[in-house]
Amino acid sequence: MKYRVEYDSMGEVRVPEGKYWGAQTERSRNNFPIGINEETMPKEIIHAFGILKRAAAEANFELIPERMTKEKLDAISRVCGEITAGELSEHFPLVVWQTGSGTQSNMNANEVIANRANGLAGKKLLHPNDDVNMSQSSNDTFPTAMHISAVLSIEDRLLPALDLLINTFVRLEEENAGVVKSGRTHLQDATPIAFSQEISGWRASLEKDRKMIKSSLEGLYELSLGGTAVGTGLNAPEGFGEAAARAVARLTGKPFVSADNKFHSLTSKDELVFAHGALKALAADMMKIANDIRWLASGPRNGLAEIYIPENEPGSSIMPGKVNPTQCEAVTMVAVQVMGNDAAVGIAASQGNFELNVFMPVCAYNFLQSVRLLADAIRSFNDNCASGIIANREKMRSNLYGSLMLVTALNPHIGYENAAKVAKLAYKENITLREACVRLGFMSAEKFDEIFRPEDMV
């Protein structure tokens, strides 16, 4: 492999020829060979750096044009456009497991932008620190990238997927109006419920989760740019944070603003903890919904078998004809991962010491993985499972009329204790509730038929 020599404040570094990164990126690449190829900095963070570096250059051009010239702004903007388009991904090789402030990834962005722009210009136009990093610090750019990437991932990827599943449940409610089945509590038979009511519970859970996720975005819209090293704004012109936030808002179409208190925004990650809590709530509900669906579809002969779900692939290497609820299983595994990520995000956020949190890369990594997994799993679950749910109405009716808990309808007529006797006799003798009630002398067969209407119990 051919190399070129790059320099930083510590001296010479050999960098692979053809790569736009510079000395500090290469030092990090060599010093942190941890999880290479599996756990590089999330692409969402790199995308966010492309946005924020352009926004910072625009703010600098507005406030200090004598330093950030139009030529430099245009060069930075062009390369940042390539970064956000994913065209320079190969030049961002660093892993998550680096300095806790994300300094090396900030410098990776600075070096790539400078070197790419200089190559296009055919001259030494930009310096990574003096120009691309002007008015910034890793300490305020990395948390800004975290918030930008979190907002874009949630709004542009997760919420649309969630809306798909909500709409599917709305359709299933309408299609199954009037279908009555046995309810279940404690995994035991309970009083009747309409299948549409059961589905509405799933839908309402997701709608609640959506509202909670949306409410968490308010804190994520706040950006720490302008705080520089410790929150004082040293080396940044007055108004830089506000100007940069306006530029980010314009570039993304999202209502980003400058954080009121930069001392807080540099060291606290509470907004990410709060938002991930909403993601965990969604994961918990998806776990519940997926479990309900695979239980209702269990069988096909020795389970509940009250619904049919799409058959997507063979389910066994040894049992011919077996088909499993694989989409449900994928969702539940994703839910477990998100719950684990929540612990990592919370612990990472608790490690703010004095003026800086130095667990930001691992916090961002877990947060963005949760959003990505939930979005992908929900979309797959919707397309390959939920959208194809069909009620087995015959089985639902059979289970409904075989349920001993229909005896609850007799309470107002013969009392709780007598109704319990009816249920116990029916179970012991394997007879119907009607036969048991008549045998015990609590009610005539005609009277029983008059008041015993399961469809009216919902």
Enumerate the active-site residues: 186, 316
SS (H, E, C) 278-316: HHHHHHHHHHHHHHHHHHHCCCCCCCCCCEECCCCCCCC
Residue 89 DSSP label: G
Cα 253 to Cα 159: distance, rounded to the nearest angstrom: 16
Please give the C-alpha separations between residue 233 and each of 99, 115, 271, 350, 454, in angstroms, as whole numbers: 22, 27, 21, 24, 70
Q: Are 367 and 317 in contact (CB under 8 A)?
A: no
Whether omega for the bond prior to residue 300 falls within 30 degrees of 0, making it cis, is yes
Residue 65 DSSP label: T
Q: Are 249 and 51 in contact (CB under 8 A)?
A: no
Cα 449 to Cα 365: distance, rounded to the nearest angstrom: 62
> Which of 200, 123, 190, 139 minimizes the C-alpha distance to 168?
200
Which runs of E-coded beta strand occur in 320-389? 352-353, 356-357
Please enumerate in sequence order all residues whose Cβ is within 8 A of that of 304, keeping only pairs 6 or more positions apart, or say none. 295, 296, 297, 298, 395, 399
> Which of 133, 157, 351 minimizes the C-alpha distance to 235?
133
Instruction: Say whether 432 sits in a helix, a strand or coil.
Output: coil
Q: Are 339 and 373 in contact (CB under 8 A)?
A: no
Q: What spatial distance separates the first Cα and last Cα of the chain, rounded to whole Å?
A: 73
Sign of the CA dihedral with 236 first, then 242, 244, and 245 last: positive
- H/E element, 13: strand 11-16
Q: Are 312 and 327 in contact (CB under 8 A)?
A: yes
Kindly write down the DSSP assignment for every residue of 224-239, as one continuous string: -TT-TTTSS-TTS-TT
Rg (C-alpha) for the chain, rounded Å, is 30
